[in-house]
Amino acid sequence: GDSVTQMEGPVTLSEEAFLTINCTYTATGYPSLFWYVQYPGEGLQLLLKATKADDKGSNKGFEATYRKETTSFHLEKGSVQVSDSAVYFCALPPYGGSQGNLIFGKGTKLSVKP
């Protein structure tokens, strides 16, 4: 069935470092792809999304490109800040499912040190 695999954390970076969090997926068809962020003690917030191959989602300096050839949707940011410390989840809707019914990766915890 459909699935999402994320790189395991935790990831610890210094402020202004470059961030990559890998996400690969297995899916029937070509679903939309999402990155969600969960700040400590909070619920999930949609960070960015891409709805078709080669689309690039971007928000708050984060980017991810929908790569059909490599079935990947890696999250990147050129210069992280302490406030980016959070858990990041890659997700997709299962085949035939709604966008509220999502399959999530296990999450990658990011800690940014000053």
Where along the sequence are the contacts to another protein (CB under 8 A)? 4, 32, 36, 41-46, 49, 89, 97-107
Q: Which is nearer to another protein, 71 or 99 (CB)?
A: 99
Nearest approach in angstroms of CB 21 to another protein is 13
Which two three-digit tokens encode residue 94? 């299962």
Q: Identify the CA nearest to 33 among candidates 49, 44, 53.
A: 49
Q: Which is nearer to another protein, 10 or 114 (CB)?
A: 10
Q: Which is nearer to another protein, 76 or 104 (CB)?
A: 104
Distances from the Cα of 103 to the Cα of 18, 33, 47, 110, angstroms? 27, 10, 16, 21
Nearest approach in angstroms of CB 54 to another protein is 19
Radius of gyration of the chain (CA): 13
Q: Which is nearer to another protein, 68 or 106 (CB)?
A: 106
Nearest approach in angstroms of CB 104 to another protein is 4
What's the CA gap between 109 and 78, in Å, rounded? 17
Nearest approach in angstroms of CB 6 to another protein is 8
> Maximum distance among all alpha carbons in the chain?
44
